[in-house]
Amino acid sequence: MKRRNFIFDIFSIGLMSSISTRLKANNLNFSPMVRSISTWKTTEANHKAGSLLDNGTDALNAAVIGVAVEEENPKNTTVGYGGAPDRSGNVTLDACVMNHMGDCGSVVAVENIMNVARLAKDVMEKTPHVMLAGKGAEEFAISEGYKKINLLTETSKKDWEKWLENEEYKPIINIENHDTIGMLCLDKNNNMSGACTTSGLAYKMKGRIGDSPIIGSGLFIDNKIGGAVATGLGEEVVKTVGSYLVVELMRQGKSPYDACKEIVERIYDKHKNHRDMKHLQVGFIAVNKKGEHAGYSIRSGFNYAVYDEEIGNRMEDAPFKMSWKK
Protein backbone atom coordinates (compact mmCIF):
# COMPACT_ATOMS: atom_id res chain seq x y z
CA MET A 1 0.00 0.00 0.00
CA LYS A 2 2.79 2.41 0.91
CA ARG A 3 4.60 1.63 -2.35
CA ARG A 4 1.37 2.21 -4.30
CA ASN A 5 0.84 5.57 -2.55
CA PHE A 6 4.43 6.52 -3.25
CA ILE A 7 4.04 5.73 -6.94
CA PHE A 8 0.76 7.69 -7.02
CA ASP A 9 2.42 10.68 -5.34
CA ILE A 10 5.28 10.65 -7.84
CA PHE A 11 2.79 10.42 -10.70
CA SER A 12 0.74 13.32 -9.27
CA ILE A 13 3.79 15.52 -8.85
CA GLY A 14 4.88 14.79 -12.40
CA LEU A 15 1.41 15.46 -13.75
CA MET A 16 1.08 18.80 -11.93
CA SER A 17 4.56 19.81 -13.08
CA SER A 18 3.59 19.00 -16.67
CA ILE A 19 0.34 20.97 -16.37
CA SER A 20 2.15 23.94 -14.82
CA THR A 21 4.73 23.94 -17.62
CA ARG A 22 2.02 23.90 -20.29
CA LEU A 23 0.08 26.68 -18.56
CA LYS A 24 3.16 28.88 -18.38
CA ALA A 25 3.86 28.21 -22.04
CA ASN A 26 0.38 29.53 -22.80
CA ASN A 27 0.73 32.59 -20.54
CA LEU A 28 -1.73 31.26 -17.97
CA ASN A 29 -0.93 31.91 -14.33
CA PHE A 30 -2.51 29.01 -12.49
CA SER A 31 -2.57 28.52 -8.75
CA PRO A 32 -4.55 26.04 -6.65
CA MET A 33 -7.15 28.72 -5.85
CA VAL A 34 -6.53 32.41 -6.22
CA ARG A 35 -8.13 34.19 -3.27
CA SER A 36 -7.24 37.81 -4.02
CA ILE A 37 -5.44 39.81 -6.66
CA SER A 38 -4.78 43.56 -6.68
CA THR A 39 -3.12 46.12 -8.93
CA TRP A 40 0.38 47.43 -8.27
CA LYS A 41 2.60 46.75 -5.26
CA THR A 42 -0.21 46.50 -2.74
CA THR A 43 1.00 43.36 -1.01
CA GLU A 44 -0.12 44.40 2.47
CA ALA A 45 -3.64 45.12 1.28
CA ASN A 46 -3.75 41.93 -0.75
CA HIS A 47 -2.45 39.84 2.15
CA LYS A 48 -5.11 41.34 4.40
CA ALA A 49 -7.85 40.36 1.97
CA GLY A 50 -6.39 36.91 1.32
CA SER A 51 -6.08 36.13 5.02
CA LEU A 52 -9.69 37.16 5.60
CA LEU A 53 -10.83 34.95 2.74
CA ASP A 54 -8.88 32.02 4.16
CA ASN A 55 -10.81 32.49 7.39
CA GLY A 56 -14.20 32.49 5.68
CA THR A 57 -14.90 36.19 5.09
CA ASP A 58 -17.09 36.82 2.06
CA ALA A 59 -15.46 38.24 -1.05
CA LEU A 60 -16.99 41.72 -0.93
CA ASN A 61 -16.07 42.46 2.68
CA ALA A 62 -12.58 41.06 2.13
CA ALA A 63 -12.07 43.37 -0.85
CA VAL A 64 -13.37 46.46 0.95
CA ILE A 65 -11.26 45.77 4.06
CA GLY A 66 -8.27 44.94 1.90
CA VAL A 67 -8.25 48.15 -0.14
CA ALA A 68 -8.80 50.15 3.06
CA VAL A 69 -5.18 49.35 3.94
CA GLU A 70 -4.10 51.59 1.07
CA GLU A 71 -6.84 54.16 1.62
CA GLU A 72 -5.43 54.68 5.12
CA ASN A 73 -1.77 54.71 4.01
CA PRO A 74 -0.53 58.33 3.83
CA LYS A 75 2.54 57.23 1.84
CA ASN A 76 0.37 56.18 -1.09
CA THR A 77 -0.34 59.46 -2.85
CA THR A 78 -2.77 57.94 -5.35
CA VAL A 79 -5.40 56.56 -2.97
CA GLY A 80 -7.31 57.82 0.07
CA TYR A 81 -5.62 59.77 2.85
CA GLY A 82 -2.59 61.55 1.43
CA GLY A 83 -3.82 61.32 -2.14
CA ALA A 84 -2.60 63.99 -4.54
CA PRO A 85 -5.04 66.92 -4.84
CA ASP A 86 -6.62 68.47 -7.90
CA ARG A 87 -5.36 71.75 -9.36
CA SER A 88 -7.21 73.69 -6.67
CA GLY A 89 -5.53 71.78 -3.86
CA ASN A 90 -8.55 69.65 -2.93
CA VAL A 91 -8.29 65.89 -2.52
CA THR A 92 -11.29 64.15 -4.07
CA LEU A 93 -11.78 60.39 -3.98
CA ASP A 94 -13.64 57.92 -6.19
CA ALA A 95 -14.52 54.26 -5.63
CA CYS A 96 -16.80 51.46 -6.66
CA VAL A 97 -17.66 47.93 -5.56
CA MET A 98 -19.47 45.03 -7.22
CA ASN A 99 -20.60 41.77 -5.67
CA HIS A 100 -21.31 38.27 -6.96
CA MET A 101 -25.02 39.05 -7.41
CA GLY A 102 -24.27 41.86 -9.84
CA ASP A 103 -25.14 44.55 -7.28
CA CYS A 104 -22.87 47.56 -7.33
CA GLY A 105 -22.23 50.89 -5.66
CA SER A 106 -20.11 53.90 -6.50
CA VAL A 107 -19.07 57.29 -5.16
CA VAL A 108 -17.32 60.08 -7.04
CA ALA A 109 -15.64 63.39 -6.20
CA VAL A 110 -15.88 62.77 -2.46
CA GLU A 111 -14.04 65.12 -0.08
CA ASN A 112 -13.24 64.65 3.61
CA ILE A 113 -14.07 60.92 3.74
CA MET A 114 -11.22 58.40 3.76
CA ASN A 115 -12.73 54.93 3.27
CA VAL A 116 -14.66 55.51 0.08
CA ALA A 117 -14.74 51.85 -0.99
CA ARG A 118 -16.73 51.09 2.17
CA LEU A 119 -18.89 54.12 1.39
CA ALA A 120 -19.57 52.73 -2.10
CA LYS A 121 -20.61 49.46 -0.46
CA ASP A 122 -22.99 51.40 1.80
CA VAL A 123 -24.48 53.14 -1.24
CA MET A 124 -25.11 49.70 -2.74
CA GLU A 125 -26.60 48.19 0.40
CA LYS A 126 -28.38 51.11 2.07
CA THR A 127 -29.73 53.30 -0.73
CA PRO A 128 -31.89 52.72 -3.83
CA HIS A 129 -29.08 54.17 -5.97
CA VAL A 130 -25.88 52.98 -7.62
CA MET A 131 -23.84 56.19 -7.54
CA LEU A 132 -23.61 59.25 -5.28
CA ALA A 133 -21.45 62.26 -6.05
CA GLY A 134 -19.70 65.09 -4.27
CA LYS A 135 -21.50 66.73 -1.36
CA GLY A 136 -24.36 64.27 -1.61
CA ALA A 137 -21.98 61.36 -1.06
CA GLU A 138 -20.26 63.21 1.80
CA GLU A 139 -23.57 63.99 3.52
CA PHE A 140 -24.63 60.37 3.20
CA ALA A 141 -21.31 59.28 4.72
CA ILE A 142 -21.76 61.61 7.70
CA SER A 143 -25.29 60.29 8.24
CA GLU A 144 -23.82 56.78 8.38
CA GLY A 145 -21.29 57.73 11.04
CA TYR A 146 -18.18 58.35 8.94
CA LYS A 147 -15.78 60.92 10.37
CA LYS A 148 -14.70 63.94 8.37
CA ILE A 149 -10.95 64.15 7.88
CA ASN A 150 -8.61 66.51 6.04
CA LEU A 151 -7.26 64.20 3.33
CA LEU A 152 -4.43 66.53 2.28
CA THR A 153 -1.24 65.58 4.11
CA GLU A 154 1.74 67.92 4.44
CA THR A 155 3.71 65.82 1.95
CA SER A 156 1.00 65.97 -0.70
CA LYS A 157 0.50 69.68 -0.04
CA LYS A 158 4.19 70.43 -0.55
CA ASP A 159 4.23 68.42 -3.79
CA TRP A 160 1.17 70.34 -5.02
CA GLU A 161 2.74 73.70 -4.12
CA LYS A 162 5.85 72.71 -6.06
CA TRP A 163 3.68 71.74 -9.04
CA LEU A 164 2.03 75.17 -8.91
CA GLU A 165 5.36 76.77 -9.85
CA ASN A 166 4.95 75.54 -13.44
CA GLU A 167 1.41 74.09 -13.48
CA GLU A 168 2.35 71.57 -16.15
CA TYR A 169 -0.26 68.84 -16.36
CA LYS A 170 0.56 65.50 -17.92
CA PRO A 171 -0.01 61.87 -16.94
CA ILE A 172 3.21 60.18 -15.83
CA ILE A 173 3.63 56.50 -16.70
CA ASN A 174 3.82 54.13 -13.72
CA ILE A 175 4.10 56.96 -11.18
CA GLU A 176 3.96 55.38 -7.71
CA ASN A 177 0.98 53.05 -8.04
CA HIS A 178 -0.26 55.22 -10.92
CA ASP A 179 -3.75 56.04 -9.76
CA THR A 180 -5.65 53.07 -8.40
CA ILE A 181 -5.89 50.00 -6.28
CA GLY A 182 -8.28 47.55 -7.88
CA MET A 183 -8.89 44.22 -6.14
CA LEU A 184 -10.70 41.00 -7.02
CA CYS A 185 -11.57 38.42 -4.35
CA LEU A 186 -12.85 34.85 -4.58
CA ASP A 187 -14.26 33.42 -1.36
CA LYS A 188 -14.75 29.86 -0.09
CA ASN A 189 -18.25 29.77 -1.55
CA ASN A 190 -16.62 30.39 -4.94
CA ASN A 191 -18.26 33.82 -5.14
CA MET A 192 -16.35 36.73 -6.62
CA SER A 193 -16.53 40.42 -5.73
CA GLY A 194 -14.29 43.43 -6.25
CA ALA A 195 -13.44 46.97 -5.22
CA CYS A 196 -11.64 49.85 -6.90
CA THR A 197 -10.57 53.05 -5.12
CA THR A 198 -8.50 56.08 -6.12
CA SER A 199 -7.73 59.76 -5.66
CA GLY A 200 -7.41 60.05 -9.42
CA LEU A 201 -4.71 61.67 -11.48
CA ALA A 202 -2.57 64.17 -9.63
CA TYR A 203 -3.48 67.82 -10.26
CA LYS A 204 -6.50 66.93 -12.39
CA MET A 205 -9.11 69.52 -13.27
CA LYS A 206 -11.66 69.97 -10.51
CA GLY A 207 -14.49 67.49 -11.05
CA ARG A 208 -12.50 65.11 -13.26
CA ILE A 209 -13.63 61.48 -12.98
CA GLY A 210 -11.71 58.58 -14.47
CA ASP A 211 -12.55 54.91 -14.92
CA SER A 212 -12.11 53.71 -11.32
CA PRO A 213 -15.64 54.39 -9.97
CA ILE A 214 -17.41 53.45 -13.20
CA ILE A 215 -18.83 49.93 -13.27
CA GLY A 216 -17.74 48.24 -16.48
CA SER A 217 -14.70 50.46 -16.91
CA GLY A 218 -12.65 50.31 -13.73
CA LEU A 219 -14.28 47.10 -12.43
CA PHE A 220 -16.63 44.40 -13.60
CA ILE A 221 -17.74 41.08 -12.12
CA ASP A 222 -19.78 38.24 -13.58
CA ASN A 223 -19.91 35.47 -11.03
CA LYS A 224 -20.39 32.80 -13.69
CA ILE A 225 -17.29 33.90 -15.59
CA GLY A 226 -14.88 35.96 -13.49
CA GLY A 227 -13.82 39.54 -12.96
CA ALA A 228 -11.46 42.26 -14.13
CA VAL A 229 -10.11 45.59 -12.94
CA ALA A 230 -8.24 48.32 -14.79
CA THR A 231 -5.52 50.81 -13.97
CA GLY A 232 -3.75 53.55 -15.86
CA LEU A 233 -5.06 56.51 -17.81
CA GLY A 234 -8.75 56.30 -16.97
CA GLU A 235 -10.05 58.27 -19.93
CA GLU A 236 -8.85 55.54 -22.29
CA VAL A 237 -10.33 52.75 -20.17
CA VAL A 238 -13.71 54.53 -20.16
CA LYS A 239 -13.67 54.80 -23.96
CA THR A 240 -13.35 51.02 -24.31
CA VAL A 241 -15.46 49.95 -21.28
CA GLY A 242 -12.33 47.93 -20.58
CA SER A 243 -13.10 45.71 -17.60
CA TYR A 244 -16.50 44.71 -18.99
CA LEU A 245 -14.92 43.68 -22.29
CA VAL A 246 -12.25 41.61 -20.54
CA VAL A 247 -14.98 39.62 -18.79
CA GLU A 248 -17.00 39.30 -21.99
CA LEU A 249 -13.98 37.92 -23.82
CA MET A 250 -13.52 35.37 -21.03
CA ARG A 251 -17.19 34.46 -21.50
CA GLN A 252 -16.36 33.69 -25.13
CA GLY A 253 -13.70 31.24 -23.96
CA LYS A 254 -10.56 33.36 -23.85
CA SER A 255 -8.13 32.96 -20.98
CA PRO A 256 -7.59 35.90 -18.60
CA TYR A 257 -4.27 36.56 -20.35
CA ASP A 258 -5.74 36.59 -23.85
CA ALA A 259 -8.69 38.71 -22.75
CA CYS A 260 -6.50 41.34 -21.06
CA LYS A 261 -4.09 41.34 -24.00
CA GLU A 262 -6.82 41.86 -26.59
CA ILE A 263 -8.22 44.94 -24.85
CA VAL A 264 -4.76 46.43 -24.39
CA GLU A 265 -4.08 45.81 -28.09
CA ARG A 266 -7.28 47.66 -29.01
CA ILE A 267 -6.29 50.67 -26.92
CA TYR A 268 -2.78 50.63 -28.35
CA ASP A 269 -4.02 50.43 -31.95
CA LYS A 270 -6.27 53.46 -31.39
CA HIS A 271 -3.44 55.58 -30.01
CA LYS A 272 -0.20 54.34 -31.57
CA ASN A 273 0.03 57.36 -33.88
CA HIS A 274 -1.45 59.87 -31.41
CA ARG A 275 0.66 62.70 -30.00
CA ASP A 276 -0.17 61.62 -26.44
CA MET A 277 0.99 58.03 -26.96
CA LYS A 278 4.23 58.76 -25.09
CA HIS A 279 2.21 59.35 -21.90
CA LEU A 280 -0.14 56.39 -22.23
CA GLN A 281 -0.18 53.44 -19.83
CA VAL A 282 -3.16 51.13 -19.28
CA GLY A 283 -3.19 47.74 -17.60
CA PHE A 284 -5.73 45.08 -16.65
CA ILE A 285 -5.82 42.14 -14.28
CA ALA A 286 -8.39 39.36 -14.45
CA VAL A 287 -9.40 36.13 -12.72
CA ASN A 288 -11.76 33.48 -14.03
CA LYS A 289 -13.73 30.93 -12.02
CA LYS A 290 -11.19 28.21 -12.85
CA GLY A 291 -8.57 29.93 -10.71
CA GLU A 292 -6.59 31.26 -13.67
CA HIS A 293 -5.35 34.82 -13.43
CA ALA A 294 -3.33 37.19 -15.56
CA GLY A 295 -2.41 40.78 -16.23
CA TYR A 296 -1.34 42.71 -19.30
CA SER A 297 -0.36 46.33 -19.96
CA ILE A 298 0.66 48.63 -22.77
CA ARG A 299 4.07 49.34 -21.27
CA SER A 300 6.41 47.48 -19.01
CA GLY A 301 6.46 48.28 -15.30
CA PHE A 302 2.94 47.20 -14.37
CA ASN A 303 2.79 44.60 -11.62
CA TYR A 304 0.22 43.16 -9.27
CA ALA A 305 -0.16 41.20 -6.03
CA VAL A 306 -1.56 37.66 -5.91
CA TYR A 307 -2.66 35.61 -2.89
CA ASP A 308 -3.55 31.93 -3.09
CA GLU A 309 -4.09 29.11 -0.62
CA GLU A 310 -0.77 27.32 -1.09
CA ILE A 311 1.88 29.83 -2.13
CA GLY A 312 0.45 32.77 -0.18
CA ASN A 313 1.15 36.39 -1.12
CA ARG A 314 3.51 37.44 -3.91
CA MET A 315 4.13 39.99 -6.66
CA GLU A 316 3.94 39.23 -10.36
CA ASP A 317 5.06 41.36 -13.30
CA ALA A 318 2.50 41.71 -16.07
CA PRO A 319 3.43 40.96 -19.68
CA PHE A 320 3.34 44.07 -21.87
CA LYS A 321 3.01 45.38 -25.40
CA MET A 322 6.09 47.58 -25.37
CA SER A 323 9.01 48.28 -23.06
CA TRP A 324 9.36 51.54 -21.19
CA LYS A 325 12.33 53.16 -19.51
CA LYS A 326 11.92 55.86 -16.90
Checking 300-305 for CB contacts under 8 A at 24+ apart, the result is: 300/324, 301/173, 301/174, 302/39, 302/40, 302/174, 302/231, 302/232, 303/40, 303/41, 304/37, 304/38, 304/39, 304/40, 305/36, 305/37, 305/38, 305/40, 305/41, 305/42, 305/43, 305/45, 305/46, 305/47
Give yes or no for a contact between 138 and 110, defined as CB atoms under 8 angstroms apart: yes
Q: What does the alpha-carbon distance between residue 225 and residue 289 come to, in Å, rounded to a whole number?
A: 6
- The catalytic residue among 42, 77, 180, 231 is 180
What is the number of other CB atoms lying within 10 angstroms of the CB of residue 303?
19
Alpha carbons 97 and 219: distance in angstroms, whole number: 8
Residue 36 sits at φ, ψ, to 5 deg, of: -150, 150
Q: Answer yes or no: 198 catalytic.
A: no
What single-letter amino acid sits at 96? C
Answer for the pair 178, 231: CB distance below 8 angstroms, yes or no: yes
Give catalytic residue positions. Answer: 180
